[in-house]
Amino acid sequence: MEMSRSSFRLLLLGFLLVSSYAASDSVYDTFVQCLSNHSAPSHQASSIVYAQTNSSFTNVLRSYIRNERFNTSSTPKPLIIVTPSDESQVQAAIICSRDIGILLKIRSGGHDYDGLSYVSDIPFFILDMFNLRSINVNITDETAWVQAGATLGELYYRIWEKSSVHGFPAGVCPTLGVGGHLSGGGYGNMLRKHGLSIDHIVDAQIINVNGSILDRKSMGEDLFWAIRGGGGASFGVILSYKVKLVRVPEIVTVFRVEKTLAQNATDLVYQWQHITDKIDNDLFMRLLLQPIMVKSDNGSAKAQKSSKTVRETFISLFLGDATRLVSVMNKDFPELGLKKEDFMEMSWIESVLYWANFNNGTSVNVLLNRTLESEKYFKAKSDHVQKPISKDGLEGLWKKMIELGKTGWCSIHTEGE
């Protein structure tokens, strides 16, 4: 009795597996047929569509999974992945998903905190934008057209190729995708001087649900406003943004300084909160808080023991030279006790590499590398503190961090541990 019941279950399971493959196969056939119907005859529709049964499917899917949390066998998989290489293929893919009635997830850099660009609880396709990544920088009018599938690193590189006195204010992790980053806001280390990425978008191209390509003029100011902060995927598929570049000095200055609780870190963090929004706008100071183990040696040989503390890392970009930074720090944050020797002057593009934690001397070409060393398993949230946290509040925070042990955000890029 037990036996036959379980073999019945097995059979049923086998049937479901077969039928889901069959369903995915027929969806694939219908989709490819539809794409062909909507594509120029020269386009081989099947060459941009990956069925689950295709031997490259898993590789293509994983290429832009940037969080191990969504790289498991139980993570829902798309029925197919479409990888268009021109805009007419994006138009066709949108129309065909709409007509077949399957949800389309749009992926650019794949850095979404919750895998929203490649995971869904209901059946879905992925529209993968990685082939659409051209960047046209025009130094004469200080703008660039950037396709959604480009990374921030590629954008910074292309600007650097043409000018040493231009940059763009956006995130510090070079593999972030333009499609998700710019539609969601985009903040980085020039935030205080230049605001968000979206403050510098002057035009865009989006394809709506009916497959029409719209620019700023034809989409209207309301939609243009929405895709600068409202998240792109709610409104259509963003093909590209036109951004206004910003001027950066030939020489910028960076520093990184670490303090533990024993080095008055609580007072410094407390003080930092009161000056960081008022100090010279050329200076951005990020604070990274992490619980760490320290070896304490109290003199006796076998008494070396490890204990936990919290380490504060101040990481900065100053849009000016070291001499001026000395006077800014002496005036508004002398408590940090920094001297000129603590500062390093470099070009803006070198500061991009420094912030992304590449070693001194690393070639700028690394910004074109889309492969990360390793993916991390993480859950992240961003919040904005409205009022300075009291010293008691900070001490409570340290206690919690020490109790929890390893936390550490963007350790992926700024700490590498």
Ligand X SMILES: *[C@@H]1O[C@H](CO)[C@@H](O)[C@H](O)[C@H]1NC(C)=O
Ligand Y SMILES: Cc1cc2nc3c(=O)[nH]c(=O)nc-3n(C[C@H](O)[C@H](O)[C@H](O)COP(=O)(O)OP(=O)(O)OC[C@H]3O[C@@H](n4cnc5c(N)ncnc54)[C@H](O)[C@@H]3O)c2cc1C
The residues binding ligand X (CB under 6 A) are: 30, 33-34, 37, 46-47, 49-50, 54-56, 62, 65, 68, 71, 138, 140-141, 208-210, 263-264, 267, 298-300, 303, 305, 344, 346, 360-361, 369, 371, 373, 375
Cross-strand partners of 206: 214, 238
Query: 208 touches which of ligand X, ligand Y, none (CB within 5 to 8 A by kind)?
Result: ligand X
Q: By CB under 6 A, is residue 129 in contact with ligand Y?
A: yes
Stretch that binds ligand Y, among 93-101, 103-111, 292-300, 305-313 (CB under 6 A): 103-111
Interface residue with ligand Y among 113, 297, 399, 400 (CB under 6 A) is 113
Cross-strand partners of 259: 312
Work out how close the CB of 248 gets to ligand X at its nearest, in angstroms, rounded to a whole number. 17
Query: Which residues, 14 to 43, sit near ligand Y by CB under 6 A?
Result: none
Site map for ligand Y, 177-216, x if CB under 6 A?
Answer: x-xxx-xxxxxx----------------------------
The DSSP secondary structure of 357-399, one letter per residue, reads TPPTT--GGGGG----S-------------SPPPHHHHHHHHH
CA distance 14 to 356: 48
Work out how close the CB of 33 gets to ligand X at its nearest, in angstroms, rounded to a whole number. 4
**Cβ count near 250 (within 10 Å):** 10
Q: By CB under 6 A, is residue 410 in contact with ligand Y?
A: yes
Query: 55 touches which of ligand X, ligand Y, none (CB within 5 to 8 A by kind)?
Result: ligand X
Query: Which residues, 237 to 256, sit near ligand Y by CB under 6 A?
Result: 237-238
Where are the extended beta strands (E) located within 130-236? 135-138, 143-147, 166-167, 201-207, 213-214
Query: 49 touches which of ligand X, ligand Y, none (CB within 5 to 8 A by kind)?
Result: ligand X
Burial call 346-355: b when 16+ CB within 10 Å, e when fewer: ebbbbbbbbb
Work out how close the CB of 281 gets to ligand X at its nearest, in angstroms, rounded to a whole number. 23
Q: By CB under 6 A, is residue 408 in contact with ligand Y?
A: no
Q: By CB under 6 A, is residue 133 in contact with ligand Y?
A: no
List all residues 6 or more positions away from 291 whose beta carbon is below 8 Å from its beta carbon. Answer: 308, 309, 310, 311, 401, 402, 404, 405, 406, 407, 408
- Cα Rg, the chain, nearest whole Å: 25
> What would the two tokens of residue 130 be?
């990685």
Interface residue with ligand Y among 173, 204, 285, 310 (CB under 6 A) is 173
Q: Which one, 57 or 187, has the nearer CB to ligand X? A: 57
Taking Cα atoms as reference points, which of 102, 148, 108 lies closest to residue 128?
108
CA distance 232 to 381: 19
Q: Which one, 265 or 412, has the nearer CB to ligand Y? A: 412
What HEC string does 294-357 produce? EEECCCCHHHCEEEEEEEEEEEEEECCCHHHHHHHHHHHCHHHCCCHHHCEEECHHHHHHHHCC
Taking Cα atoms as reference points, which of 316, 411, 414 lies closest to residue 358?
414
Work out how close the CB of 415 gets to ligand X at its nearest, in angstroms, rounded to a whole number. 16
Query: 238 touches which of ligand X, ligand Y, none (CB within 5 to 8 A by kind)?
Result: ligand Y
**Residues of this chain that bind ligand Y (CB under 6 A):** 66, 105-113, 116-117, 129, 148, 171-173, 176-177, 179-181, 183-188, 231-233, 237-238, 410, 412-413
